[in-house]
Amino acid sequence: MSETEMVAETIAETGADKITQESVETAAETTAETAAEATAETSAETAAATTAETVAQTASEAAGEAAEKTGNKRKRKWNYTLMLFVDSKEGRIRQMGIGPTAVELMALFVLTVIVILAIICFADSHRINGLENVISEQQKNIDTLTSQNDELTEENADLISLREELSDKVVILSDTINRKVEEEEAQEQERAQAHMPVGFPLSSSASLEETGGDEPMVKLDGTAGSSIIAAADGTVVSVATDSVYLHCVRIDHGNGYNTIYRNDGDVMIKEGDEVVKGAILYVIGEDNTELGYQITYDGKYIDPMDLINIDG
């Protein structure tokens, strides 16, 4: 049996159960075209063409016989068989077939791969969307923090400006307070000085005589028309009569010092009066030119000459 007849017989046996008239004709035509193209490039061109035609005719007859045997009584069932025809260099045709089960398995494998790839792509897409949402949320947070930072920076600048302004005001206030304190200290010093009985108790020059003892006194002989005056600022605490002189005036200077003025003239002030240095206590006339002047400190008599400023 020749190779061509073996191919035809195989096709006939297979087609009796699985191959239809139409598929056999298609296979024959494909085989003829393949053989024609292959043999055109080789020296066996005519032999290949003849072989293809013979295979096609034999397959057609086998298909017809198979159709007659079944009597077209059974419903036609479609089966898919992948057939490969390989033309060798020697001009021989080899048949290679892949059954429908293998085709279905391959299709199932391809479908499975496609589904897996689709699931992977979906998961990656979902993960990418999640990452994009996270990035978007973080960007919003960054924008919010940036805006807050800008606001805080502006507030900080305002606080710095306010601090500088307040610092300037504090400096001015400090200077003002210092000047005020200095002024008050100067005024206090002036008041303290004004209350120190260092002034000369007559408005004119006079002769002076000191007397010692437990109650030292300075006797001053003034001139008519002049006045006996307060030696410092203070308060008149008493206006009384005196055993030696007609009147005795006592002034409290508020710092422990008291001055006593004894004279026969009329008193020009009264008890309780606030007097300043130089205030007139008596007016000296022809009959009251002598002044008995004394000073006490914390209730004890002291020498008036220790305080009297003769020049003043």
Mean pLDDT of 180-192: 89
**Counting Cβ atoms within 10 Å, is residue 48 exposed (0-12), middle (13-18) or buried (19+)?**
buried
pLDDT at 161: 92
pLDDT of 170 over the 50 cut: yes
Minimum mean pLDDT among 98-102, 140-144, 199-203: which range?
Answer: 98-102
DSSP-derived pairing of the beta strands 257-263 and 247-252: antiparallel
Q: Spell out the long-range contacts of 28-33 with Cβ–Cβ below 8 A and sequence spacing 24 or more.
A: 28/52, 28/55, 28/56, 28/57, 28/59, 28/60, 29/56, 30/85, 31/55, 31/56, 31/85, 31/93, 32/56
| Residue 222 in this model has a pLDDT that exceeds 60 | yes
Interval 260-295: pLDDT, tens: 999 999 999 999 999 999 999 999 999 999 999 999
Cβ contact 229:284 at 8 Å: no
Q: What is the largest CA-CA distance in the chain?
A: 191
Asked if pLDDT for residue 169 goes beyond 60, the answer is: yes
Q: How far apart are CA 186 and CA 179, in angstroms?
A: 10
- For the chain, which residues make up each domain, given as ranges? 3-98, 207-306
SS3 40: helix
CATH for 207-306?
Answer: 2.70.70.10
For residues 22 and 67, give the distance between their C-alpha atoms in angstroms, rounded to a whole number.
Answer: 12
How far apart are alpha carbons 309 and 32 in whole angstroms? 156
pLDDT confidence tier of residue 36, bands split at 50, 70 and 90: very low
**Cα–Cα separations (whole angstroms), residue 143 to 132, 157, 179:** 16, 21, 53
Task: Select the more confidently predicted residue: 181 or 85.
Answer: 181
Query: DSSP 3-state assignment of 244?
Result: coil
pLDDT, position 171 = 92
Report d(CA 157, CA 138) in Å as an integer: 28
Mean pLDDT is lowest, of 9-18, 45-54, 66-75, 179-188, for: 9-18
Band (104; pLDDT cuts 50, 70, 90): confident
